Structure 1
Amino acid sequence: MPAAMLFARAAPVINAIGMPARYGRIVAVRLLSVQSEVAYGHVGNSAAVFPLQRLGVEVVAVPTVLFSNHTGYGSWRGLRLAPEQVADVLLGVEERGAFADLDVVLSGYLGDAGTALVVADAVRRVKAASPGAVYACDPVMGNAAAGLFVAPAIPELLRAEVVPLADLITPNAFELGLLTGTEPTTLPELLDAADLARALGPSTVLVTSVARAEGDPETVEMLAVDAAGAWLVGTPRLPRSFGGTGDVTAALFTAHLRTSGDAAGALARTASSVFDLIELTVRAGDGELRIVDAQERYGRPRLQFAVRRVR
């Protein structure tokens, strides 16, 4: 099935200005989200679930870790779930018959390296039970500033076992390089690396947090690439960064692409919503994303940033 048809299977009615009906809410989408969860603050499922729900997505959230807060604080409490524990929770969800009703599987931070194989197995079972379901993998491994911050075995497991099952991946530029064995710093290099990533299996690649060598240093960009082309969007660089922005980005882009099949449109909506979320948080002087305060911007993005076709 062509990628656009696959992603658009659950598409809602679109109104005259190009937004989904019912005030921009996505309808009739059920999503399984397997990633970290924290009690304090917003990363992983604690960042992704509420924006998805505000879009009208029904979310089944399965944790890979249960921490007091994200690890950027330097100390935290809680536990990393063993792969067999994550598998057991997923089995319980499957026993309720939920896999057959799913439209999307989304995965993020895995915690234990063995959880990569658990996620891969769950994706296969979901796709067997719900043949139209798609899998969006956020291959969380690190970033240019911090380097690798996951178990050393995870990059190869993602590359060999998980990414080939994905329909969409949402790496940052550092993670794209890890997946493809490249170090992309220019737009041509990023496009080539995205093509290498697509050759692994995914039909669509969203590259987040792009800072190109030839780009404006005051701008942060995202690049979406699929079989139909490639699109770039830039937003002003804000003075602070926050944990969880990548998780919100992956969730929103996945939901918008799932219902429209339009990578450019999904990119425009996601960039607008995430920028407004970060800007609101900066203005508030908070150290954690103001996920709830920004809720009107998820279903009603201002679409204030132009998306440029680059291929």
Structure 2
Amino acid sequence: MKILSIQSAVAYGHVGNSAAVFPLQRIGVEVLPVYTVNFSNHTGYGAWRGPLISPDDVRDVILGIEERGVFGEIDVVLSGYQGGEGIGDVILDAVARVKAANPDAVYACDPVMGNAKSGCFVAPAIPILLRERVVPAADIITPNQFELGFLTETDPRDLDSTLASVDAARAMGPSTVLVTSVERPDQPLDTIEMLAVTPEGAWIVQTPRIPMKANGSGDVTAALFTAHYRSTGDAADALAKTVSSVFDLLTLTHESGQRELQLVEAQEFYAHPRAQFPVTRIR
């Protein structure tokens, strides 16, 4: 499998491509990373150095890949945080070109906008761009529950309303929706859930909540789920493997006392995910 991953990169820590590439490689995926920024560290620190890469330069890198005759071999285009509308145009153009070369290729979009605690932290134009142009072009999207509501202009608060929001998102274009950080009033204390919905059905899995903020964990989740699902077509299996790998990564990180994901130290959890959380079919 080959994945063209168009995301940010940092030298210190693990977000964007710096979070997604290694776990994908560790499960045997060939990744072609294209960077949209090259920062010293993620912006959560409040200070960082390094350049935003202009949309023209990102486009030029992608064109160079196309000129190598590789687009027909790419199975997935993966994108995450989009810092501006210009990058969105570049990504959509890349998706169209890859699909022209390989009609079986899919586009997986992590529509990064914010979270329930911090609210929306992207520029005001980005949610509109995602809602009106990017998500309709995607085959797979991986929002958290907050982003799902923002994207569909709904208010998912329990399982029924979250499923209704997923249906609204799927009506926009993508056939597969993975919802992370699912919370509902009737779930056990200190747990969190992940939900996957495809044309074949819907599945949910519950894990203990790990009390930490983990920048980049959503990028790892989107990458692993997309690769597993694209490989097997089995959403329940992809969900089980992804949840297990990410839970063990976060547990290891929490126990280390470090702020940044212990991405390399957790590598065996990607290669050999444990079957530790039951996946329940809900429709």
TM-score class normalised by the smaller sequence: over 0.9
Decide which moves more: 53-62 or 210-219. 210-219
Q: CA deviation at 1:113?
A: 2.0
Calculate the TM-score normalised by the size of structure 1. Answer: 0.89
Q: 1:79 to 1:217 in 2, by over 3 A?
A: farther
The separation in 2 between residues aligned to 1:216 and 1:183, in whole angstroms, is 21
Q: Are the aligned partners of 1:117 and 1:161 in contact in 2 as well (CA < 8 Å)?
A: no
Residue 269 of structure 2 corresponds to residue 297 of structure 1: yes
Counterpart mapping for 1:30-41 below 5 A: 30-41=2-13
1:221-266 Cα deviation digits (max 9, x unpaired): 1000111111110110112121000000000000000011011110
Does residue 95 (structure 1) correspond to residue 67 (structure 2)? The answer is: yes
SS in 1 for 2:85: coil
Q: Secondary structure at the match of 2:143?
A: coil
Aligned residue identity for 1:269: K
Which residue of 1 is the match for residue 173 of structure 2? 201
1:217 Cα offset (Å): 3.1
Contact kept, 8 Å, 1:82 with 1:112, in 2: the verdict is: no
**Contact 1:34–1:107 (8 Å) recurs in 2:** yes
Query: 1:239-250 to 2 correspondence within 5 Å?
Result: 239-250=211-222
- The alpha carbon displacement at 1:81 in A equals 1.8
Other structure's SS at 1:207 match: strand
- Rounded to whole Å, the distance in 1 between the matches of 2:189 and 2:92 is 38
| 1:232 maps onto 2:204 in alignment | yes
Partner of 1:154: 126
Task: Identify unmatched segments of 5+ residues in structure 1.
Answer: 1-28
Q: Deviations over 1:53-95 (max 9, x none)?
A: 0011000000111111111111111122222221111111111
Percent identity between matched residues is: 65
RMSD, aligned α-carbons: 0.9
Q: Look up the SS of the partner of 1:225 in the other structure.
A: strand
| 2:246 paired residue among 264, 270, 274 | 274
Q: How does 1:1-311 map to 2 (within 5 A)?
A: 29-311=1-283
Taking the aligned partners of 2:123 and 2:85, their CA distance within structure 1 comes to: 6
Structure-1 separation of matches of 2:245 and 2:103 = 30
State the AA in 1 paired with 2:118: A
Letter of the structure 2 residue corresponding to residue 80 of structure 1: L
8 Å contact from structure 1 (residues 35, 64) kept in 2 = yes
1:12 corresponds to which residue? Answer: none
Contact 1:104–1:135 at 8 Å: present in 2 too?
yes
- In structure 1, distance between residues paired with 2:85 and 2:13: 24
Classify the secondary structure of the residue corresponding to 2:51: strand
Aligned length: 283
The amino acid that maps onto 1:70 is H
How far apart are the structure 1 equivalents of 2:121 and 2:62? 25
Cα separation, 1, equivalents of 2:122 and 2:15: 15
Give the whole-Å Cα distance in 1 for the aligned partners of 2:159 and 2:244.
21
State the shift of 1:216 in Å. Answer: 2.1
Report if the CA contact (8 A) 1:205-1:226 is conserved.
Answer: yes
Residues 102-140 of structure 1: CA deviation (Å, up to 9, x unaligned)? 011100011122211111111010000111111110011
Higher relative contact order (CA 8 A, sep 6+): 1
* Residues 64, 109 of structure 1: 8 Å contact kept: no
Report Cα offsets for 1:23-44 as digits up to 9, x if no partner.
xxxxxx0000011100100000
SS at match of 2:160: helix
Cα distance, 1:213 vs structure 2: 2.4
Alpha-carbon distance between aligned partners in 1 of 2:147 and 2:71, rounded to the nearest angstrom: 29
- Which 4+ residue blocks in structure 1 deviate beyond 2 angstroms? none
Give, as a single letter, the amino acid of the residue that structure 2 aligns with 1:234: Q
